[in-house]
Chains A and B, each alone.
Chain A
């Protein structure tokens, strides 16, 4: 699986949009971009995933650049409960393939 690079941490104000960047410059054509988050030591929570097109669901939006070498997770109105470690993971499309977690980015939402 392609490697991803994320800044170690960022913060944002409650109610504002949080834009979390991820670099995956070696991504190949059959690899999806996934975002998960982990609050304290709870299980990783699936947020969103995409292949080429931008995606939106009730939690977040995923913007993937045209060359697919980077992406941004957008939490449109961050709340204190969004404080967590966010993982950007690239994974091949095979149903059986594992997720390889990095260190992620620690998002701190301040009041």
Chain B
């Protein structure tokens, strides 16, 4: 069964450094998402992306965050200057997006640890 894949599984970065989290969505999917989950807290929406544009973003997704689909397969989340509070699990999700409430499918996440 096709799945969303995320790399790396664990990323350790010094505060203030840039980090790029990578995702390969399911191949025929058209809508892409990033969520994050701080340890012990709820899964929170960050951003949705369709047709090479951001469709919606949350308050968390400030100027330090950006997303990109650099080619036909990858979807990336960049944090420009990381803060301690960016430490979390980051999940990528994708959906076909056509009719009947097509569900989002999630990757297993990248654990980001900021030192």
Contact = CB atoms under 8 A, between A and B. Distances in A.
Interface residues on B, range: 20 to 34
B31 to A, nearest CB: 6
Nearest to A96: B55
B34 to A, nearest CB: 10
Given A49-B101, A95-B102, A44 B31 contact: no
Given A43-B109, A46-B105, A95-B102, A102 B97 contact: no
Interface in A58-107: 87, 91, 93, 95-103
A87 B37 CA distance: 14
A96 B107 CA distance: 18
| SS class, residues of chain A in contact with chain B | loop
B106 A95 contact: no
Interface in B13-32: 30-31
A23 B43 CA distance: 20
Given A96-B50, A96-B56, A100-B45, 15 more contacts: A41-B39, A41-B111, A42-B109, A43-B107, A43-B108, A44-B106, A45-B106, A46-B105, A93-B101, A96-B48, A97-B48, A98-B33, A98-B58, A99-B43, A101-B35
